[in-house]
Amino acid sequence: MMKFSDINSSNHCPLEGTLGVLLRHLTFVVSLVLSFTTFAQQTPAPPQSEQVAIFGATAHIGNGEVIENCTIIFVDGKITAIGTDLMAPTIGVMINAEGKHVYPGFIAPAKSLGLVEVDAVRASKDEDEIGDFIPHVRSIIAYNSESKVVESMRPNGVLLGQATPQGGRISGTSTIVQFDAWNWEDAAVKTDDGIHLNWPALYRKGSTWLGEPNAFIPNKKYEEQVGEVKTFVENAKAYGKTASKEINLPFAAMQGLFDGSQRLYIHSNGEKEMVDAVTLAKKAGIQHIVIVGGYRAHKISDFLKEHDIPVLVSETHALPKFDDDDYDFPYKLPKLLVDAGLLVGLQNESMANFQTRNLAFYAGQVVGQGMDKETALKMLTGNTAKILGIDADYGTLEVGKSATLIISEGDALDMRTNQLSKAFIDGRDVSLETHQTELWKRYMGKYEGE
């Protein structure tokens, strides 16, 4: 605590010293307020108040279908009509989208968006809690709807995401959110949709600090760690069958896995690990299972298809993990899985949150590997919505579903032409401005004036 004697240590009188300190503090506070005012998050859009009709567009439905010269009409946040032979409405907002493309809003699964602002600033990270088995920890209550990272997703068409906890063996419970909200209650689309299990790895990277080789070495504790997961899952299932009134929060949080109301997201990459994880989950009676990562999923595609296990495969803009992998293996992995008959979505679990804005371009990379463009689009929209269990309302442009969509000047999967002119979330006309576009305009004005 500052003492009066500290202020009076200079040659100035006490009043002058105190006044100077107060003025400096006041200047700092004013500067801080102005900085937040200048670069604050865009105000969330109000609810849709009148009918909107988009006409003349090429509509990419999100299920593989394309409709040329399409008209899309939505009211109260829901699509009421879509097709080529629709009578032009006489009231409401008319948007001429001739020569443009309309897509469902892209969905970013398995990311800590809204939970981490700056990786290097610990105070801005709220993605992990103490403990290894913490399914009762809910990510949604820590979700920051005013995150500038989340805001920066919208200009590239990413309008929905899965706020996912990280760390530990069972990280906690995720929630699916939309990216234009006042608070986490407004943002939530599907609350507590699933529980995330980080399956033990059969091999781990050696630690040079411990005198180990700088290479992958066997994880001698693999069986022990698997045993811990098995014991926890079995105890949670037994807890659900008891009549005890004593509440065990971790076990209680697992019950949605057994009654089918929640999904188990297994984060794993090795083929044996994925087989072990799915086998354990199936034996426990867990109904909905999703593999996240799946770097070696193509090796066990028949097994995954037999058990109807979808895969949220990692980003394509990455280097191979192993020396004997093909140099272009990450580029073509999604196509290998789709060709094997699996339900596949795209995510970027291993990359920084801000790079999630490039989700569409991961799909574009797969198109370069020979995948049909509309099939690649499904991995961002219809497929991901099915995997997350929100396909009744999101993921495709169909009558009765949410009017969550984007209008692009060109091909949304191509970083050269993906320039959005409009984005709607539940029919609300959301802002495409971010702190980045504000800075761009600010400094472009400076240099253009020179």
Fold of 108-197+251-270+281-394: TIM Barrel (3.20.20)
pLDDT tier for residue 25 given thresholds of 50, 70 and 90: low
Instruction: Give the per-residue pLDDT at 216.
Output: 79
Instruction: Give the per-residue pLDDT at 15.
Output: 41
Instruction: Give the per-residue pLDDT at 29.
Output: 45
Q: Which of 131-140, 303-312, 351-360 has the lowest mean pLDDT?
A: 351-360
Distance between CA atoms of residues 435 and 441, nearest Å: 10
Q: Which of 16-25, 31-40, 197-206, 400-409 has the lowest mean pLDDT?
A: 31-40
Distance between CA atoms of residues 419 and 157, nearest Å: 9
pLDDT tier for residue 39 given thresholds of 50, 70 and 90: very low
Distance between CA atoms of residues 187 and 179, nearest Å: 7
Instruction: Give the per-residue pLDDT at 207.
Output: 76
Residue 226 has pLDDT above 50, yes or no: yes
pLDDT tier for residue 41 given thresholds of 50, 70 and 90: low
pTM attached to this predicted model:
0.88
Reported as a single tens digit per residue, the pLDDT across 241-298 is 987 778 999 999 999 999 999 999 999 999 999 999 999 999 999 999 999 999 999 9
Instruction: Give the per-residue pLDDT at 437.
Output: 85
Reported as a single tens digit per residue, the pLDDT across 89-127 is 778 999 999 999 999 999 999 999 999 988 888 888 888
Torsion of CA 17, 18, 19, 23, to 10 degrees: 100
Q: Rounded mean pLDDT of 134-154?
A: 94
CA 87 vs CA 1, 91, 121: distances in Å: 73, 12, 54
**What contacts 374, CB < 8 A, 6 or more positions away?**
60, 64, 65, 66
Residue 30 has pLDDT above 80, yes or no: no
Average pLDDT of the residues of the chain:
89
Q: Where are the alpha helices (DSSP H) in 13-165?
A: 14-38, 148-151
pLDDT tier for residue 445 given thresholds of 50, 70 and 90: confident
pLDDT tier for residue 432 given thresholds of 50, 70 and 90: very high
Distance between CA atoms of residues 290 and 308, nearest Å: 9
Reported as a single tens digit per residue, the pLDDT across 394-431 is 999 999 999 999 999 999 999 999 999 999 999 999 99
Instruction: Give the per-residue pLDDT at 196.
Output: 98
Instruction: Give the per-residue pLDDT at 26.
Output: 52
pLDDT tier for residue 346 given thresholds of 50, 70 and 90: very high
Instruction: Give the per-residue pLDDT at 327.
Output: 93
Q: Which of 1-15, 241-255, 386-400 has the lowest mean pLDDT?
A: 1-15
Domain 44-105+395-450 has CATH 2.30.40.10: yes
pLDDT tier for residue 449 given thresholds of 50, 70 and 90: low
The count of other CB atoms within 10 Å of the CB of residue 349 is: 19
C-alpha 37, offset from chain centre: 27
Q: Which of 32-36, 89-93, 147-151 has the lowest mean pLDDT?
A: 32-36
Instruction: Give the per-residue pLDDT at 215.
Output: 76
Of 257 and 28, the structure prediction assigns the larger pLDDT to 257
Q: Rounded mean pLDDT of 63-91?
A: 91
Domain ranges in the chain are 44-105+395-450, 108-197+251-270+281-394
